[in-house]
Amino acid sequence: MKHPLLVLLSSLILGCTREQVIENISFPQAENKVAVYCLLTPGDSIFASLKTLKSISALTQDSTESVTTAQIILQNSQTKKQAVLRYLGHDGLYGCSQQELPVVTGHQYTLVTYIPSINTPLQASCTVPGRAANIETFTYGLPYHDGAYERRRYSLSWRDVSDRSITYNYAIVFHYAFPVTDGGGSRIITGESLYINEGFEKATDYVYYAGDCPDTHLTQTVHLLTMDSNLFRFYALADNMYKGVRRGGTNDFFGAYQGVMPEFTNIENGFGVFGAYLRTEKDIIIQ
């Protein structure tokens, strides 16, 4: 919904802008580092992905190489039980089953990764949230047309389980499904969207989220993620980086950022994130 406004403001300021490609930028060589991603959630297997850092240049493709020879050790700090993640044979993915290392709410876990080409091991720790928040209320408005689709505003609320006044670390994953009829015939398009930065408000003990969804009268599912602070911060900054850097920052006239967008990581000697989350969900049907 913000887009019409942003387009208007863009037209004011960018009405007379010109762009040109700057040739022959000599980017410095990147350090020999690896990005580790490992997200824990109770009741499921544990997976990790390892990708190399790549120097930027006009020839750089938007993907990086996988690391296939790492040794990843996870340990539950409370029970001292540990597991070694096995390489799954593709895309730099490693994993172990929940029987090998159960993910328990409220427990702290440590990760140590050894990579032959890097002398210092990569290390991190995280704590699985103790409780999951549950969506309690759901309301929605009347339909409106956003220029392409019929949509509805909706609002959710849940009791805050973080016990903190400022940081509460939630995200919404909206699983959408809506019918489309075009030259390819009639079909249902499905997908997920992650909302993490905006739309959340807190008053007393309750957190409110407001968003919009297609007015399809189909069952939609809203998933509420209760995250540990590292995971939240990583995804929140990644969202900012996507808006501020990869889109050129031109979508953000209320305080656009063209300065340094810091990459958050809790991986010592590397990049990426080691985090944990709990997930609850609510089906919504708009009548």
Q: Does 225 bind another protein (CB under 8 A)?
A: yes
Shortest distance in whole angstroms from residue 76 CB to another protein: 18
Nearest to 193 by CA among 222, 170, 230, 219: 222
Q: Toward another protein, which CB reaches closer, 10 or 127?
A: 10
Q: Toward another protein, which CB reaches closer, 148 or 203?
A: 203
Chain mean position to CA 159: 22
On whether the CB atoms of residues 135 and 106 are closer than 8 A, the answer is no
Which element (helix H / strand E) includes 12? helix 2-14
Q: Toward another protein, which CB reaches closer, 148 or 166?
A: 166
- Rounded to 10 degrees, what is the CA torsion of 276, 61, 113, 264? -50
Among 148, 163, 203, 287, binds another protein (CB under 8 A): 203
- Residues 7-46 vs another protein: string with x where CB under 8 A? -xx-xxxx-xxxxxxx--x-xxxxx-x-x-x-x-x--xx-
Q: Toward another protein, which CB reaches closer, 87 or 232?
A: 232
Dist CA 227 CA 234 (whole Å): 11
Interface region with another protein, contact rule CB under 8 A, candidates 105-113, 124-132, 164-172, 177-185: 164-172
Shortest distance in whole angstroms from residue 175 CB to another protein: 7
Interface region with another protein, contact rule CB under 8 A, candidates 68-76, 107-115, 135-143, 182-190: 135-143
Q: Does 127 bind another protein (CB under 8 A)?
A: no
Task: Measure CA of the first residue to CA of the last residue in the chain; give whole Å.
Answer: 22
Q: Does 104 bind another protein (CB under 8 A)?
A: no
Q: Kindly give the pairing relationship between strand 170-182 and strand 219-227.
A: antiparallel
Q: Does 242 bind another protein (CB under 8 A)?
A: yes
Q: Does 87 bind another protein (CB under 8 A)?
A: no
Identify residue 98 by its one-letter amino acid code: Q
Q: Cα separations (Å) of 264 from 37, 122, 127, 240? A: 12, 15, 17, 11
Q: Does 262 bind another protein (CB under 8 A)?
A: yes
Q: Does 144 bind another protein (CB under 8 A)?
A: yes
Dist CA 157 CA 139 (whole Å): 9
Dist CA 164 CA 131 (whole Å): 13
Q: Does 278 bind another protein (CB under 8 A)?
A: no
Q: Does 89 bind another protein (CB under 8 A)?
A: no
